[in-house]
Structure 1
Amino acid sequence: MNFSMRPEKVVTSTMHDRLAEWGHLLENCGDKPSRKGVHALRVVTLRLQAEFERDLEDLPRASHQAQAMLQFGKLAEKLRRALGPVRELDVWIGKLRDLRASLSHGGEYVPRTTQQNVRGIERLEERLKRKRRSAEKKLVAEIEKRGRRLVKAGEEIETALSGCLFGEESGIAEELAARFRTVRAEFPTLDEANLHEFRKRIKMVRYLAEMRGSSDPAIGQIATQIKKLQSAIGEWHDWQALAQVVHSGHHAKSKDLAELLQAIARESFETALSTANSVTARMQGADLEQIEPSSLQHRSPPARSEDDWAAVEDRKLA
């Protein structure tokens, strides 16, 4: 959102709609954190964080708008951290359910090892469901504790932005591609030690692209490619985490299941690396202007004195 003094446009209802959706989801999760509700609230929260992080680049830190964004960001980060464990457990339980179903439909004859793995998955599912209930209680308590402050912060954001005028933006596709390449350059070699961190670092680009992709096919393609990459990395990370959970149990009966999950994780890792290479190549493709990763200055900032500008804290989205 490139703020300026030009009167061509005012802040649209899009932000109002996103904040209204966020408030509705927050209220629902405070009552009953369902799987879909938790996922939806987490996504909307991350999108708002991504948008405000980008907006802060064009605002003086002392401005009312920047302060409102920073306050919302601090509270949203705490909410996101409470949502994370619940969402992660939901994903793990779903993956185990699907794996168990695939192993259980192998015909009339089921090898003993497969039977043991199915029973091991059932036991692990029950463990994770218990953890999920515990994490759900913590999430409800967090929302109850900070809910009013979160809602108030959202209202202050709307008030702060209601009078803002901003000019037209251009070159968003090139900016997002450059942001991706900037992050990618920080990870010249992707491996098991840094692949998940790389996934977290490119989330901002994805969410910004998704919020603008409906109006520009090039931006929509960026969103599609990064989502594809994040999904592949997330698939590997989830199977790796599940394999570690089983391995850390040190139960003899879980040995075969741990080996199965480790094998799935290895295959997923190779897929993730392949996807990372192909997506990186596409992001450097001829459809997007070839610009250097450091060239992010196509947006014309508002006319302000140098003293007004302050460095924005590096808040990584996870």
Structure 2
Amino acid sequence: MTSTMHDRLAEWRHLLEKCGDKPSRKGVHALRVVTLRLQAEFERDLEDLPRASHQAQAMLQFGKQAEKLRRALGPVREFDVWIGKLRDLRSSLIHSGEYVPRSAQQNVRGIERLEVQLKRKRRSAEKKLVAEIEKHGSRFVEAGEEIETSLSDYLFGEESGIAGELVARFRMVRAEFPTLDEANLHEFRKRIKMVRYLAEMRGSSDPAIGQIATQIKKLQAAIGEWHDWQALAQVAHSGHHAKSKDLAELLETIARESFETALSTVNSVTAHMPGADAEQVEPSDLQGRKPPAWSENGSAAVEDQKLA
């Protein structure tokens, strides 16, 4: 087993233990990221492994447990991001100038009310996360240990041609979304996460791969910015307080502007995706090699895995 994989699994177990004790904002984010990266790496190699092999079964079992963990981590992480964005927005309204207009003051109060609401929900989600780790923690750890036992000779495929493969994977997903709109933009973002994490894990050894990771991360950040503001606007709209309407309108305006920025970023990254000089893999060569979806019984479903 490579030291990189060993270190990643060790980090995963350490963060799992920490979050089971106290799910801090940084800890939840770090555990979610390392879980996604491990899934991305295993999904890539599952495409070429016989499903009956010990390695494939260990990967599938880890994927099943990782899905349970991510479902518990997701809401906590989401609340952390929303609370942070509201805090920044409130700060910008307060410090935008010496004079704070009445409309801004109302929005500040609306933000404070919404923050209180989200913090309360975050505490509830945190308790559920701790309970989930306590309930399934031994299974999570066993799945990680089984991976280490079965993947003593684990490698991320051949080093040559990876940049070209990653570009082809990106192009294949992009081709499945010829027209992006508010209905499918977030789904597109989830679908390209595997490419990003694979690129990040290999970027330190190849500048071309590092550039691919940087560009996709930039793209995902822009889409994520829009999705978070859109979600916050919907939460504000659901508020029963009459003054929530003003805040919802402000958040909707920010969301619309973020949507335009996201589309522009997608087009720019797609047009300038690096790797033209790398050994190319055509998208058609990857057909039939889509990543598996982790099912409850540990087997792979036919539909694509959707990293959230």
The TM-score by the shorter chain falls in which range?
over 0.9
Q: Classify 1:166/1:187 alpha carbon distance in 2 versus 1 (closer, same or farther; 3 Å).
A: closer
Name structure 2 gaps, 5 residues minimum.
Answer: 288-299
Q: TM-score, normalised by structure 1?
A: 0.89
**Displacement, 1:311?**
8.7
CA-to-partner distance for each residue in 1:195-218, whole Å, 9 max, x for gaps? 000000000000000000000000
1:295 match: secondary structure: helix
The percentage of aligned residue pairs carrying the same residue is: 89
* Equivalent residue for 2:221, pick from 214, 220, 231: 231
**Displacement, 1:251?**
2.9
CA distance in 1 between partners of 2:57 and 2:163 (Å): 28
Q: Residue in 2 aligned with 1:116?
A: 106
Aligned: 1:203 with 2:203: no
Q: Residue in 2 aligned with 1:12?
A: 2
Q: Classify 1:164/1:118 alpha carbon distance in 2 versus 1 (closer, same or farther; 3 Å).
A: closer
* Equivalent residue for 2:242, pick from 223, 237, 252: 252
CA distance in 2 between partners of 1:251 and 1:150 (Å): 42
Q: Residue in 1 aligned with 2:26?
A: 36
Q: Residue in 1 aligned with 2:128?
A: 138
Name structure 1 gaps, 5 residues minimum.
Answer: 1-10, 298-309
Deviates more, 1:178-187 or 1:165-174: 165-174
Q: TM-score, normalised by structure 2?
A: 0.92
* Equivalent residue for 1:88, pick from 78, 89, 100: 78
Contact kept, 8 Å, 2:164 with 2:275, in 1: the verdict is no
**Displacement, 1:265?**
0.2
Aligned: 1:212 with 2:202: yes
Contact kept, 8 Å, 1:38 with 1:83, in 2: the verdict is yes
Contact kept, 8 Å, 1:173 with 1:219, in 2: the verdict is yes
Aligned: 1:157 with 2:168: no
CA distance in 2 between partners of 1:292 and 1:15 (Å): 28
CA-to-partner distance for each residue in 1:264-305, whole Å, 9 max, x for gaps? 0000000000000001011277444565321349xxxxxxxx
Question: What letter corresponds to residue 20 of structure 1 in structure 2?
Answer: A
CA-to-partner distance for each residue in 1:245-265, whole Å, 9 max, x for gaps? 011224321111111100000
Aligned: 1:73 with 2:28: no
CA distance in 2 between partners of 1:78 and 1:167 (Å): 27
CA distance in 2 between partners of 1:272 and 1:135 (Å): 29
2:272 match: secondary structure: helix
Does 1 or 2 have the higher relative contact order (CA < 8 Å, sep 6+)? 1
Question: What letter corresponds to residue 97 of structure 2 in structure 1?
Answer: G
Deviates more, 1:51-60 or 1:246-255: 246-255
Contact kept, 8 Å, 1:75 with 1:150, in 2: the verdict is yes
CA distance in 2 between partners of 1:162 and 1:312 (Å): 28
Counterparts of 1:163-174 in structure 2, within 5 Å, are 163=153, 168-174=158-164
Q: Residue in 1 aligned with 2:282?
A: 292
Q: Classify 1:286/1:168 alpha carbon distance in 2 versus 1 (closer, same or farther; 3 Å).
A: closer
Q: Residue in 2 aligned with 1:101?
A: 91
